Each structure stands twice: as C-alpha cells, then as structure tokens.
Amino acid sequence: MARFGEHYSYQPFDQVKIPRPPRKVIATFSNFQIQQLLNVIDSSAADGYRDYTIILTLLDTGLRVSELCSLSLSNLWLQDGMLKVLGKGNKERLIPIGKHIQRLLWRYINRYRSESAMPNSDLLFLTMDGRPLTKDRIDKIMAYYGSKAGLAGVRCSPHTLRHTAAVSFLRNGGDVFSLQRMLGHASLEMTRRYCELADIDVKKVHMTASPVDNLAPKQQRMWRGRS
C-alpha cells in the first residue's frame, strides 16, 4: 500500500515474474574429436610435445587455463601424482594427476622444456624462448590445432577441455563432491550442470544396472510364466 501523499499506479506487469534465461548446453569434445586433435600435433618437436602435454593435462585435471599458465615446478609433485594451483579468490587446492600425465610431464621437463628467460621464475610451461605462456597464446594454439584437425560443432578451446574433463570424470565413476574440489567451484550449483550432461549415458548404464533386470533369476522365471 502506498504511503500518505504518494500516488501509486497499478501496472498489470508488476506481478509477472521474469523467466530465467534458458541455460545453454555446455559443449564437450567426443573421444573421437580428442583423438583427432591429438593426431595433428607433431609431438616429436619440442613445441609440439609441449602442446600435446598441455592439452592432455587440461583434460586430465579440468584446470582453468589461467591456472595452467601459473603452474610452477615447485608446486608439482610428480612422484606423488599431485599438483597445487592458485584458483579464484586466491584459494589453493591440490589436484591429482594420472600416471600418463606424470610420464608426459616428466619427459617434457627433462627433455623439451626451455630454460626460463626470467630470473627467479620456475613456471612449468614456457614458450620456446623461455617466456611465460599466456592465456591468449594457449587459446590460439588450441584454435590452430582445432582448425588443422577439421573439428566442427564444438569450440576448440581450453575451456571446452575443462567441460570435457568434468563430464568424463563423472561418466567414468567420479563423484560430484570430488569433482567440485577438483574444479575449484565454491558451490555445487555449477558442478550439478555437469551431472545433467553426464546423464546422457543413463540408458547405457541402465542396461547393466537395471533394478528389475538384476532381480534374482527365480523371480524373473515366475514373471515369464505369468506372461
């Protein structure tokens, strides 16, 4: 109700709730597209091996590209299969890495990584002249390989690798709380969106995990006898 002396004109749209904008489907790479991408990289060259390692590290960890750029040798524990990153809000988190990534990183560091051109810097991924790799540079590297591989229907970017890592983690049996910690999400809201995408495989899972199909054979024979 309006206060004394105030004039209030009722508008019919005052009670209308503005609908939320539709959520866009998060695009991810298929396994075939990832293989296409990797196949066009010349991993026998120093820069190619670095790029190959970067792409698979992003895919294995779900790191933001800014986090990957700031990775340092001192925060990488290859024998333990762990790395430490500084995420949003200056929050540190530990992320496990798989055995294949451990081997790739060891070889990159010992055979292909350039000497740092900056004193007192131990950044992990460097340009061929020892400078820090930037987010824009990695974006361009990804776009170049995506174009070379002829990928269509998906944006070839580090962010797409992050989405793909999240969905693959869930499809391969990972739980949502571990994924939240791995991605550095402050809440489960964003992480749940990956759950929705991972449910694309629910029919495939149901074929082997159907509650009714997995009942005792004796019970199933009784049903067949009644049909």
> Is the confidence at residue 53, as pLDDT, over 60?
yes
In Å, what is the CA distance from 164 to each residue of 113, 140, 154?
Answer: 27, 19, 11
pTM of the model: 0.76
Would you name the residues annotated as active-site residues? 64, 88, 159, 162, 185, 194
Q: Does domain 31-143+152-199 have CATH number 1.10.443.10?
A: yes
Residue pLDDT, tens place only, 120-167: 889 999 999 999 999 999 999 999 999 999 999 899 999 999 989 888
Q: What is the pLDDT of residue 8?
A: 54
Provide, for the chain, the percentages of residues in helix, strand and coil under a 3-state DSSP scheme, each rounded to the nearest 5: 55, 5, 40
Domain residue spans in the chain? 31-143+152-199
